[in-house]
Amino acid sequence: MDKRSALAVTAVTILTCTTNPFLPVETSQNAPLVVITFDDADSSIYTRGYRLMRAMDTTWTATHFFPKSYLDQPTCVTLAEEKEMERAGWETGGHGGIGHDNLSSLPPDTMTALVKACYDFLVDSGLCHESYAYASGMYNDTVKAVVAKYFVNIRAAHDYYYLDGVNRQELGYFAVKGGFTSDDIIVRVEQARSLGAPLVIIGFHVILADTAPAVPTYYVRESAFRGFLTYLEEQHLQVMNVRDAMKILCGS
């Protein structure tokens, strides 16, 4: 066992949740839960993200956040694909409003209607509707209060370390950007491990073939993604969606 693992094994973390502040859960962790998220419904999330994760370990799941208007668009995930992923344990989450709306820039009435539309779309489509991610990570206190009326798990933008507990209404993530190698991603998980953190959230957008031209949005090359999955498998890390991680860390 290396020094980092030894440190992590001895870590005992007291975890509390904002929605359940009087029931701290004490748990001994020897490695962080690894939560994987995908944003914005690019078709590669199904063709590469979902399929490659399934091929590596059928118990692994992820959370997919996207706005209503992206579904079934050309080059986007379809409702049938999203439902197939949910049947395999994946979680759908709300994102933005109807489009990729920056809610903090809108009048309160408009913003509230968009959050409701986002939630209603998931419910009406028969999709999971417990988790939400702010589009472009943009929010303020008014937005936060409205989103919290509809969703129990909320992902913001800052990459938190969760050393003082997990606030399920202000989760963070490590955003994988164009040009990242698998080692660039692995380093973040190793950092969580060495700190004794209970959780690390890694966020992907588009998964590009190694030979494809770069795109302006966040992306990862397929070989880097595969390398990251191989690392997770070799290290026997627990890989899951936001909802299931919150069940473990927050007890519901």
Residues near Zn ion (CB under 5 A) are: 39-40, 135
Q: For the chain, what is the total number of helices (H) and then of strands (E)? A: 9, 12
The C-alpha atoms of residue 50 and residue 54 are separated, in whole angstroms, by 6
The C-alpha atoms of residue 48 and residue 54 are separated, in whole angstroms, by 10
The C-alpha atoms of residue 40 and residue 168 are separated, in whole angstroms, by 21
Shortest reach from residue 221's CB to Zn ion, in Å: 20
End-to-end C-alpha distance for the chain, whole angstroms: 33
Q: Considering beta carbons, is residue 55 or 215 the nearer one to Zn ion?
A: 215
Shortest reach from residue 131's CB to Zn ion, in Å: 14
Q: Considering beta carbons, is residue 39 or 222 the nearer one to Zn ion?
A: 39
Q: How far is CA 33 from the centre of its chain?
A: 12
Q: Considering beta carbons, is residue 217 or 223 the nearer one to Zn ion?
A: 217
Shortest reach from residue 9's CB to Zn ion, in Å: 36
Q: With b meaning 16 or more CB within 10 Å and e meaning fewer, what string describes 65-103? A: bbbbbbbeeeebbeeebbeebbeebbbbbbbbbeeebbb
Q: Considering beta carbons, is residue 127 or 135 the nearer one to Zn ion?
A: 135
At 110, is the secondary structure helix, strand, or coil?
helix
Shortest reach from residue 198's CB to Zn ion, in Å: 26
Shortest reach from residue 40's CB to Zn ion, in Å: 4
Helix (H) or strand (E) holding 111: helix 108-124
Q: Considering beta carbons, is residue 40 or 222 the nearer one to Zn ion?
A: 40
Shortest reach from residue 180's CB to Zn ion, in Å: 17
Exposed/middle/buried for residue 122 (C-beta within 10 Å: 0-12, 13-18, 19+): buried
Q: Considering beta carbons, is residue 85 or 135 the nearer one to Zn ion?
A: 135
